[in-house]
Structure 1
């Protein structure tokens, strides 16, 4: 069973809307406040990346149910410039925007599963999953 809700990211208010959607779904599934904060932080990071680097994209939140366990998956999809050096952007401290560089490595640490696929000139797709303990 996968139930999906998506928010198109075009401006900063969409980042707020995506965070709120993620928090609501996490709460609905029974995640505690700490995991809710982890999930919303991951969504913030991914949505901000879409806004800053791709200009437009989508954040989708999927409710997951697999083998008796429940969870939530964040999908960030854009058709922006793509990421040339995935290894580099996955290094702690790496930043192209002058930020803290917690970005994608931070998202990976906050979530249980992390997958990234990017093709220069075609865009990026990231999936980050959190399972209910």
Structure 2
């Protein structure tokens, strides 16, 4: 399996493809079934956000090897409208789509490291890492 792969997110089927890619990478690296589910759920949220709010974007998955630790990096990039108030979208229960609002705060909880960078009118880039225990 390559050290990096990606899925273009344009339609709902691409969300499924991104989830499957993430699960394959997680399994290949030796993550437990519970962590595989966490990673897959996080990818699903990120891909769905791209589909719903940006219209199109990309989910990239990287194998990490840092200081003897192995892990996975999920990167979500879009050129959508951007997020005006990052603090607001990181609040539990906040939703602009009428969903549960578990989105980004949920991704942050499911993964070990989380970073978000967004500029209104330019797009959003999110990085989420999970380390092998």
When normalised by structure 2's length, the TM-score is: 0.98
How big is the shift at 1:26?
A: 0.1
Secondary structure at the residue paired with 1:77? strand
How big is the shift at 1:77?
A: 0.1
Q: Report what 1:132 is aligned to.
A: 132
2-side partners of 1:61 and 1:118: how far apart? 19
Q: Report what 2:121 is aligned to.
A: 121
Q: Report what 2:95 is aligned to.
A: 95
Q: How does 1:44-83 map to 2 (within 5 A)?
A: 44-83=44-83
**Unmatched segments (≥5 aa) in structure 2:** none
Q: How many residues align?
A: 132
Secondary structure at the residue paired with 2:116? strand
Secondary structure at the residue paired with 1:92? coil
Secondary structure at the residue paired with 2:99? coil
Secondary structure at the residue paired with 2:19? helix
Runs of 4+ in 1 over 4 A off after TM superposition: none
RMSD: 0.8
When normalised by structure 1's length, the TM-score is: 0.98
Q: Report what 1:9 is aligned to.
A: 9
